Amino acid sequence: MKSLSILIFIFCVLMIAGCNGEKDLIEKNKLVVTQAFDAINNQDYESLDQYFTQDYRRYCQASPDAKVENLDDMIGFLKEWYDAFPDATVETHMMAAEGDLVAVYITFAGTHTAPMGDIPATGKRMESETFGFHRLKDGKIVETWVTWDNLAIFNQLGLFPPPGKDQP
């Protein structure tokens, strides 16, 4: 009976240790995402390889033509956004994690002072609520699924006024 008690005790200790290990990994993953957003806010593109894998992939229904199939593509995408919105910031409102996934609810905000693709600069400020999931592996972001409301952005920039409203 004593050996059974010892086995149960060892099993419990291992279970608790395993749970703490997963909790530690989740907290580390959340920290990586936080640090990645800090680097993006600072437009510190050279440091992004600390947070993203070289074969990083980004999936987004809101910008289907913006192919991001590696870290260089991601840096190019970010540079285009920061060229168009040089004062842009990313503010994290909520973050939750489970396993290898980190979910975020952020606001991307900035003033549109330079062309964005075919869209000429409007000089207007916009804020976009954005949701995303990041999958991490070995301490780096491997994939991101992200979405935002393009119509809300275009409305704020004066590019798509609501029906019945005059364009400013």
CATH number of the domain to which 35 belongs: 3.10.450.50
Specify if 167 maps to a domain: no
Specify if 106 maps to a domain: yes
| pLDDT for position 1 | 61
Specify if 122 maps to a domain: yes
Specify if 166 maps to a domain: no
How far apart CA 141 and CA 143 sit, in angstroms, is: 6
| pLDDT for position 113 | 97
Enclosing domain of residue 87: 2-156
CB neighbours of residue 144 within 10 Å: 21
Count of domains for the chain? 1
pLDDT one-digit tens code per residue, 109-158: 999 999 988 889 999 999 999 999 999 999 999 999 999 999 999 999 99
How far apart CA 84 and CA 99 sit, in angstroms, is: 35
Specify if 145 maps to a domain: yes
Specify if 6 maps to a domain: yes
Specify if 162 maps to a domain: no
| pLDDT for position 51 | 98
Residue 118 and residue 89 in contact, taking contact as beta carbons nearer than 8 Å: no
Written as one letter, the residue type at 28 is K
* Confidence category of residue 31, pLDDT binned at 50, 70, 90: very high
Average pLDDT in the chain: 89
- Answering whether pTM is above 0.85, one says no
Specify if 165 maps to a domain: no
Task: Tokens for 28, please give them.
Answer: 């580390």
Q: Is pLDDT at 16 greater than 80 in this prediction? A: no
| pLDDT for position 64 | 84
DSSP single-letter state for residue 109: E
Which 3 state secondary structure label does DSSP give 107?
strand
Nearest CA among 158, 151, 93 for reference residue 125 = 158
Sign of CA dihedral 38, 41, 46, 51: positive
